[in-house]
Amino acid sequence: MDFKPKISIIIPVYNVEEYLKRCLDSVLGQSFKDIEIIAVNDGSTDSSREILKFYSEDHDNLVIIDQQNGGLSDARNHGLKVAQGKYVMFVDSDDFIVTDMVEKLYNKAEKDCCDMVICGLIRYYQDTGKEEIEVPLFQEDQFLTGSEAAEHYLADKGINGYAWNKIYKKTLFQDNNIEYPKGMLYEDSPTTFKLLWNSNRVSFLKEPMYYYVQRGDSITKVVKPKAITDFVKGVEDMGVYLKQKGIFEELKDVYMAAMISRNNIAATTLYTYLMDHEETEEFSYAEKKLIDVANSFTIREVLWSKCISTKEKLKCLYLRKGLFKALIRIKYR
């Protein structure tokens, strides 16, 4: 490929032969043509590599990168290193996008001089075909500074942490040394926070244009001890970043609310799963980590917080006292 594209679309690929053609068709069929597509084959053992090769024969703008299996973050980071576009986007290889998604996000970013634009999404349930639409709460003529957007995200107010329903200026990654954390599940959570924080301007498109495919065997649907702890670690990493920036105390209450809320979700998932499964040493370790997080704040801090609901406060206190598991068993028995 001898041209410099305006947009680089990075697709990490790992053992998705059943879904990959649909994904590639949606990206290669975009109305906006000034793009390069970087497919990072992350050590696939099925026919995914052959499918990529077949498509690349007819599409000069499809670049295939082969690497040993390093996970989703490693694949995205590899793609970022070779991306030539002014902007970058991500598409997961089991998902797909509407025909004019790239065009609309690019035009919005250029028109409004934004470092990041966020659009709506469709949760698509593979088994049933059911669709659920999720759109940004902010209006299309509304702009946020990076710090405003990051705080809204941390407070779970209208901005999600997904990597893929967004367009970014590539310099956001380059100028701020931002990468996806290798080996971490829910890796886009702390990374999106950093990208938002370092943006000069963030804007929104209400239209849902990204199909987020829900399938039972995906890494976000399987309950594993690491998934439990990484779900919470994402918020911990945001706290570390706020401390590095010297503004942790200013946002401590918002951070504490986010941490307790996510910790409570993780505890509910853990204890519900263990009702029907054996409690291994790894799950016991995950439980201890969650209890440690609940105890990392004083009871006074939790009870006096204006950002934490009464329900979440009670859950945190139950977890501290070792009562959360019993409550889950009573609720679901």
Judge whether 193 and 241 are in contact, CB under 8 Å. Answer: yes
pLDDT of residue 276: 86
pLDDT of residue 218: 54
Mean pLDDT of the chain: 94
pLDDT in tens, 43-74: 999 999 999 999 999 999 999 999 999 999 99
Q: What is the mean pLDDT of each run of 10 residues along the chain (333 residues)?
A: 85 97 98 97 97 96 97 97 97 98 98 97 94 94 95 94 97 97 94 97 97 75 85 95 94 96 95 89 94 95 95 95 87 72
List the beta bridge partners of residue 67: 42
Domain extent listing, the chain: 7-214, 225-332
Residue type, 63: V
pLDDT in tens, 88-136: 999 999 999 999 999 999 999 999 999 999 999 999 999 999 999 999 9
Query: Where does residue 87 fall: left (phi above 0), alpha (psi -120 to 50 degrees), or beta otherwise?
Result: beta
pLDDT of residue 71: 95
- What residue ranges in 43-115 does DSSP mark as E strands? 62-67, 87-90, 96-97
Stated pTM of the model:
0.93
pLDDT of residue 327: 84
With 0-12 / 13-18 / 19 or more C-beta atoms within 10 angstroms meaning exposed / middle / buried, residue 143 is middle
Nearest to 164 by CA among 101, 207, 222: 101
- Top CATH class of 7-214 equals alpha beta
Residues in the chain: 333
